[in-house]
Amino acid sequence: MDIHWILYSCIVPVTVQGVQISLPLVGISVLLRLCVLWGRLSSGVINTLAALLGVGALWMFYQTGVLYFAVLCLLVYVLLQTLTKHKGAIVAIVCVSFLIICEGYIEQAEVWHRVRGSFLVLVMKVISLSFDLDVTTNKRGERIPPTIAAVPSFDSFVAYCFFPGTLVFGPFVTYTEHSKFLTKSPLSAPWLYSVLRSWLLCLLCLAMSSCVFSFLFPEPAWNKWLAAYSAAASFRFSHYFVSFLSESTVLAAGIGYQTSTTSTHRSSTSYSWSDFAVVRPLFIELPRSLGTVVTNWNLPMHLFLKSYVFKPSISYLGKFGAILCTYIASAVLHGLNFQLAAVLLSIGVYAYIENVLRYRLSVHLNACVMDRPCPINCSHQHKKGSPLAWIVNIFFTLLAMFHLAYLGLMFGAQSHSESELQAKGFSMFHTLRKWSHLNFLSHWVALVSYFIYLLL
């Protein structure tokens, strides 16, 4: 690698481009927060302004693609006003049908592939809101009142759907969390630090993705696994770029804080901005398990899938069925794409196999080697710091990194022709050809792991 060329011909122009993309969104979010703090505008005016700024941001990135967002938003609001029960299930079916129709029959693949990420955020928003408006029952048959008492007013609903700090690049936030932006949380040094930290991290990850990992291990015949790791790492850091950018916009807009009340001579409320996170790269690059990767890849989406798919289905389908249902739901929401579906379903099955295998190993070895860290007072003889537990956990960390290189290869373009294909989404044959180049080794390893679990 030519370090001088990478610095001046790649990192500098890529960073400038990243600033040009990200700064308007962060600026819009800060402007909206300043309007809230001004205090002279009603909540209705603020909501309308938020929706207009969100539409403007969408137009800046997608032009006429904003029409799809508007149509789904209006359709869902009509359903919420007319339906008396099962709002969540019906809205979810409508949203999935809308996704399939747009991707399969209306829009060109290149255009929809570009819009799909933001559209996914909108879909998660309206589905979560619809379920939160439903009356549910627990295992004992007792009725549980809805999380949100009534359908929001139209201006509040549109502001939630088109909120500029959470729509273009995400993240998903619930309606309750979104409503925090109307609170006059004061400007502070911790807030400014959190926004700048996330924004600078997003630019760093963009440079790492485009200018470091893309050229780290070009592929000679003997080096295909290092090349696979390089391509997968480039994809992961591009994901970190989007995640940290969404983190900075949502914090800039005044969402994501935690409050606590201090009891002194006069009670006061303090605001903490450091706990909100969209992604945790360290838990992905050096994972304890694949389950850790899944959880920390996109924390808000993990919350959505856990709350609105996994928990409602586990009592009917069991743990494995609920896990499979969750990954199928994730694949469907991401679009009709074999590449995405194959990777998501593979990692779901892998994570389940690792979970049950490591549980059996923890019993047979009497060691803290499960896919999640044991509590401090666990009954295992060999604690996490013991040589046995350390060796086993390091082995599974390396195994997870191996699986990530194999699965992430699908999203890393290693040539100009692949970059053009990536704009549409890779086909089934291209995906299978990429994996066959690596001898389907990751899938074979997963199969062997499952047989070991059965033998234990």
Distance CA 234, CA 261 (A): 43
pLDDT band for 416, please (50, 70, 90 cuts).
Answer: very low
Write the single-letter amino acid at 439.
N
Q: Which of 91, 62, 79, 409 is nearest to 229 (CA)?
A: 409
177, 184, 206: which is closest to 275 by C-alpha?
A: 177
pLDDT of 264 > 60? The answer is: no
pLDDT at 381: 87
- 283 pLDDT more than 70: yes
Q: What percent of the chain has pLDDT over 90?
A: 50
**DSSP code of residue 367:** B
Q: Is the pLDDT of residue 424 over 60?
A: no
Q: What is the per-residue pLDDT across 380-392, written as a single tens digit (0 to 9) for each?
A: 888 888 999 999 9
- Residues 124, 302: contact at Cβ < 8 Å? no
Residue with tokens 């002279």: 40
pLDDT at 297 over 60: yes
Token pair, residue 329, equals 């739901």
| pLDDT digits 0-9 by tens, 430-453 | 677 778 888 889 999 999 999 999
pTM score, two decimals? 0.90
Check whether 263 has a pLDDT greater than 60: no
How far the first Cα of the chain sits from its last, in Å, is 47
pLDDT band at 21 (very low <50, low <70, confident <90, very high): very high
DSSP tag of 208: I
Give the pLDDT score at 313. 84
Mean per-residue pLDDT of the chain:
86
Q: Are 170 and 25 in contact (CB under 8 A)?
A: no
* CB contact burial 430-441 (16+ within 10 A = b; e otherwise): bbeebbeebeee
334 counts as catalytic: yes
Spot the catalytic one: 4, 178, 265, 334.
Answer: 334
Comparing C-alpha atoms, which of 315, 323, 313, 405 is closest to residue 371?
323
pLDDT tens for 48-79 read: 999 999 999 999 998 888 888 999 999 999 99
Q: pLDDT tens digits, residue range 315-374?
A: 778 877 888 888 888 888 877 677 777 888 888 889 989 999 999 999 999 999 999 888
Name the residue among 120, 103, 199 with its Cα closest to residue 167.
Answer: 120
Of 332, 339, 369, residue with least CA distance to 354: 369
- The mean pLDDT value for 387-407 works out to 92
pLDDT the model gives residue 22: 93
Structural tokens at position 442: 């990751």
In tens, the pLDDT along 111-155 reads 777 788 899 999 999 999 999 998 766 565 556 777 888 899 999
pLDDT value, residue 417: 46
Contact of 47 with 156, CB cutoff 8 Å: yes
Show the DSSP H helices in 338-386 as ranges.
Answer: 338-365
Q: pLDDT confidence of 81, banded at 50, 70, 90?
A: very high
Q: What is d(CA 129, CA 134) in angstroms, rounded to the nearest whole number?
A: 9
Rounded Cα distance between 400 and 409, Å, is 14
Residue 423, pLDDT score: 46
- Cα–Cα distance measured from residue 186 to residue 425, given in angstroms and rounded to the nearest whole number: 44
Task: For helices 387-408 and 224-252, give the axis angle rounded to 10 degrees.
Answer: 90
